Chains A and B, each alone.
Chain A
Amino acid sequence: MTNSGTIAVSLPDEIKPCMEGTVPSTIVTCSLDGVPNVTEISQVYYVDRNHVALSHQFFSKTHQNVHENPFAMAVLRDPSTYAEWILELQYDHSEESGPVFDEMDAKIESIASMTGMSGIFKLRAADIYRVLSIRKSHSQG
């Protein structure tokens, strides 16, 4: 970790509990004409140490925005402490099949059933993002 609190782009193991889908994450994107968009998202998925995946469900504005302007910021929350991590992301590509998609699809239905929303969540694509930066938030003082 640097003095500014920024960690190089490699995701640390301690962030993995934030990616279990227990606590929703929040993502902000921006359209090409400069309008920000904030959305709660059920889960951010760990792909590898440099990439995460976000589910493309009905929040098509996020998907639309990152196709126009690939930059995004996501806030992930630890299910035990609610400590937050702030990730700057860059959209890379979307996958509509394959192991990452299948894993996300199964997990989304599992989360939906736990929250009484079974059948409402429908995965359209796994959007893969490169992690540009990551740091712990000081939102808990």
Chain B
Amino acid sequence: MIPEDQARFLTGPVIAFVGTRNGQLRPSMAWAAAPRANAAEETITFILPDLESARVKEDLADNGLIALTALDPLSHETYQYKGKYLGSRAPDQNDKALHDIHKAKINTRLREGCYRADLFDRFVFWPGTAVTFRVADIFIQTPGPQAGKRLPFVPSVK
């Protein structure tokens, strides 16, 4: 099981990015919108924006190794989820709703920090592709001495 607090964290006002790599071990990254965990299935699904994600899509098809980092922009609480790509699908209306809610949450959160109210609207995350991967490891990345520490998460499928 993905810990409940982790699943909750991901659906909060988090800014998220995914990292991948190609067959020559050259890394790439893209934004990840509307991340959410299926705790029981130990998976995370997110919207990979069509813009600026071509290399990430190629990498996922090539080897499937993926890392998603999610952070609260004000508290700096940060976690990284590493795992293996399971599949992609065209997004549905539920994904669009989650995308809109995610953006609204981030804009609200950023306003609390006196940032521009529409700051996050500048980034275009839609249309995109719904991507799912199975989580193998979770790491703390909140700045500080605990950064890099692996959370006590034991996946049921290796």
Instruction: Report which A residues bind B (CB closer than 8 A).
Output: 26, 28-30, 32, 34-40, 57-61, 69, 71-73, 75, 81-82, 86, 88, 115, 117, 120-121, 137-141
Q: Tell me if A34 and B143 are in contact (CB < 8 A).
A: no
Q: Find the B residue at minimum CB distance from A88.
A: B26
Q: Could you say which residues of chain A place their CB within 8 Å of the CB of B69?
A: 26, 38-40
Closest to A83 in B: B122
Given the complex of chains A and B, what is the CA–CA distance between A115 and B78 in angstroms? 15
| Residue among B27, B29, B71, B119 with the highest chain A CB neighbour number at 10 A | B27
Given known contacts A35-B65, A36-B66, A59-B141, A117 and B76 CB-to-CB distance under 8 angstroms: yes
Report which of A26, A35, A39, A137 forms a contact with B52, defined as CB distance below 8 A: A137
A28 touches B52 (CB 8 A): no
By beta carbon, the residue of chain B nearest A116 is: B76
Task: Tell me what chain B mostly uses at the interface: helix, strand, loop, or mixed.
Answer: strand
Contacts of A30 in B (CB 8 A): 19, 21, 25-27
> Footprint of A on B, CB under 8 Å?
17-21, 25-29, 31, 49, 51-52, 63, 65-69, 71, 76, 78, 80, 82, 119, 122-124, 141, 143-145, 147-148
Report A-chain residues with C-beta under 8 Å of the C-beta of B68: 38
Task: Across the interface, name the chain A residue whose C-beta is closest to B23.
Answer: A34
Q: Are B143 and A36 in contact (CB under 8 A)?
A: no
Given contacts A28-B27, A39-B69, A40-B69, 16 further A-B contacts (CB under 8 A): A28-B20, A30-B25, A36-B65, A36-B66, A37-B19, A38-B17, A38-B68, A40-B71, A40-B78, A58-B143, A58-B147, A69-B25, A82-B119, A82-B123, A138-B52, A139-B123
